[in-house]
Amino acid sequence: MDCEKPRIPANPADPGFYKELLDHMSDGVYFVDRDRRILYWNKGAHCLTGYKAEELVGRKCQDNILCHVDTAGRRLCREDCPLTATIKAGEPQEANVFLRHKDGWRVPVQVRVQPLRGADGEITGAIEIFRDSTAQNEARRRTEELERLAFLDHLTHLPNRRFLDMSLQTALNEYDVHKDPFGVLWIDIDEFKAINDRFGHACGDRALIQAGKTLAGSLRPADTVGRWGGEEFLAIVRNVNRENLEALAQRCFVIQRQTLVPVEDGTRIAMSISVGAALVQPGDTAESLIDRADKLMYKCKTTGPSAVETE
């Protein structure tokens, strides 16, 4: 995807100055009219979503193109849309949401909306500015460092098992000395073999990549999630109690359920995950903690329909 920023005209009196200035921003920016019809879509919005201006200008937000959801997985484009609230009330709105990238994965973004008014003061539409949330930026920085240290899984660009082993041992050492609480999420893609068998290994690889990106965006900046091996992922979440741990596990499940994987024929398939969540206990080793989380995860698969099990 071409996200190279254009040159900005030197003269602010040039009619193209402000458009080029907006296109130069890394933040996504778009304008809508009172009917939420998209009138302008900048280069930053293209880079963050995968959609070019010519694909979206003239379409309406309620077409649910970006499929905005909150952390509970509730769809916002047709119900609690910040743009609608701003246009109706004339007040700015802020929200943290997940949009769906054109290629299928979920992107966490911080959204700010301001009303647009005509010369008579009447509301004519709204402007939305959105950017990668902190977790996504932190994940990008961490990826660069992991790649340098050869701790990166080269398919998903998440931490690999070697790094997860080291991080888990560090968390256990800190717990033994300072009693800093933490937990682990053992995550498995449901029916992964069926995805491979029916749609091919290339589709299976895309499923792993999409799952990894969505999980990284669903957790907090201080949490660590990586690929353990195969279709299994491990997240190490710090400073949590049972309630916090369960809420994070549920968020991962709900947001992942909104992810779509592209297939060679142009269609997309949904995928789900099962999550086992275990809190550290006195005397735990890395093996015993992972074993408890693994058993909870398999309980999800055998008992259903719960996708999250927490001890």
- Of 9-23, 162-176, 204-218, 258-272, minimum mean pLDDT range: 9-23
Q: Is 231 a catalytic residue?
A: yes
Amino acid letter at 40?
A: Y
What span, in angstroms and rounded, lies between the C-alpha atoms of 97 and 74? 10
From 42-56, 64-78, 116-130, 189-203, the region with the lowest mean pLDDT: 64-78
Least Cα distance to 131 among 109, 100, 105, 98 occurs for: 109
The phi-psi region of residue 151 (left if phi > 0; otherwise alpha if psi is between -120 and 50; otherwise beta) is alpha
Smallest Cα–Cα separation from 309: which of 249, 251, 269? 249
pLDDT 10s digits, 116-169: 888 888 899 999 999 887 656 666 666 666 666 678 898 998 999 988 998 999
Domains located in the chain, CATH noted: 17-132 (3.30.450.20), 136-310 (3.30.70.270)
Nearest 5°: phi and psi at 226?
-150, 175
Select from 168, 146, 76 the least CA-distant residue to 113: 76
Rounded to two decimals, the pTM is 0.69
Catalytic residue among 128, 231, 246, 309: 231
What are the Cα distances from residue 284, in Å, to 118, 122, 165, 167, 237? Answer: 64, 63, 14, 15, 16
